[in-house]
């Protein structure tokens, strides 16, 4: 698939609409190569990735459930179970982690975070170009200090996204996108 076609046809596929097969090691390697090609002022590589497959997904689900119960003890049993089973919905989960040096003399933290987000986007585009479905999730699990600690994140790290990757069970329609006229104006 050509790059422009991949950009223009990529859609978010909810994990409940994905299944096997997930990417094998070779496909995942290419996705990670694409991630590493992200813009990176200063060559800081302000990102890293945790790959969660197989039984690791159940362990991640237990971590999600534990975090939810500790942070919001009144949560319903149904919601706890939803968090516990969420990682099992996709064959592969990639936890995208931004490593920020807040004291870097030249590259501000926001630029490092932007670079990490570009790495995530490149990875998702590569997955799509190779025929896989993907979803970039954030929310409570990504923001949870308990989840971050359970995954071994350092103090200067944060979860940029939980990437669910698999094969779409059915074609997903492209969402309506804004017209270029709506998002760009000539200046001055």
Residue pLDDT, tens place only, 90-125 = 999 999 999 999 999 999 999 999 999 999 999 999
In whole angstroms, give the CA distance from residue 165 to residue 6: 16
Q: Where are the alpha helices (DSSP H) in the chain?
A: 3-9, 25-36, 55-71, 77-85, 109-129, 139-143, 145-150, 180-183
Q: What is the pLDDT of residue 12?
A: 93
Looking at the domain assignment, is residue 64 inside a domain?
Answer: yes
Q: What is the pLDDT of residue 137?
A: 96
Give mean pLDDT in consecutive 10-residue pieces for the chain, a chain of 188 residues: 89 93 98 97 95 97 97 95 95 98 95 97 97 96 97 97 97 86 82
- Of 100, 98, 94, give the one whose Cα is nearest residue 116: 98
Q: Structurally, how many domains does the chain consist of?
A: 1
Please give the residue range of the domain that contains residue 130: 16-170
Looking at the domain assignment, is residue 178 inside a domain?
Answer: no
Q: What is the pLDDT of residue 64?
A: 97
pTM (predicted TM-score): 0.93
Q: What is the pLDDT of residue 117?
A: 98
Looking at the domain assignment, is residue 139 inside a domain?
Answer: yes
In whole angstroms, give the CA distance from residue 162 to residue 171: 22
- Of 69, 128, 58, 134, give the one whose Cα is nearest residue 96: 134
Looking at the domain assignment, is residue 57 inside a domain?
Answer: yes
Looking at the domain assignment, is residue 5 inside a domain?
Answer: no
The distance in angstroms from the start CA to the end CA of the chain is 37
Check which CATH number belongs to the domain holding 40 and give it: 3.40.109.10
């Amino acid at each position: 698939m050509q790059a422009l076609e991949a950009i223009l046809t990529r859609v978010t596929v909810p994990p409940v609409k994905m299944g096997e097969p997930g990417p094998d090691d070779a496909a995942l390697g290419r996705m990670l190569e694409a991630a590493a090609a992200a813009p990176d002022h200063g060559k800081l590589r302000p990102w890293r990735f945790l790959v969660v497959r197989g039984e690791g997904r159940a362990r991640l689900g237990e971590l999600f459930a534990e975090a939810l119960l500790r942070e919001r003890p009144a949560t319903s049993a149904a919601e706890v179970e939803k968090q516990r089973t969420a990682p099992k919905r996709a064959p592969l989960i990639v936890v995208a982690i931004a490593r920020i040096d807040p004291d870097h003399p030249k590259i501000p933290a926001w630029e490092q975070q932007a670079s990490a987000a570009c790495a995530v986007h490149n990875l998702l585009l590569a997955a799509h170009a190779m025929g896989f479905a993907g979803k970039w999730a954030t929310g409570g699990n990504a923001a949870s200090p308990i989840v971050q600690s359970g995954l071994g994140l350092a103090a200067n790290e944060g979860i940029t996204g939980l990437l669910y990757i698999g094969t779409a069970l059915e074609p997903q329609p492209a969402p309506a996108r804004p017209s270029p006229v709506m998002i760009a104006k000539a200046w001055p």
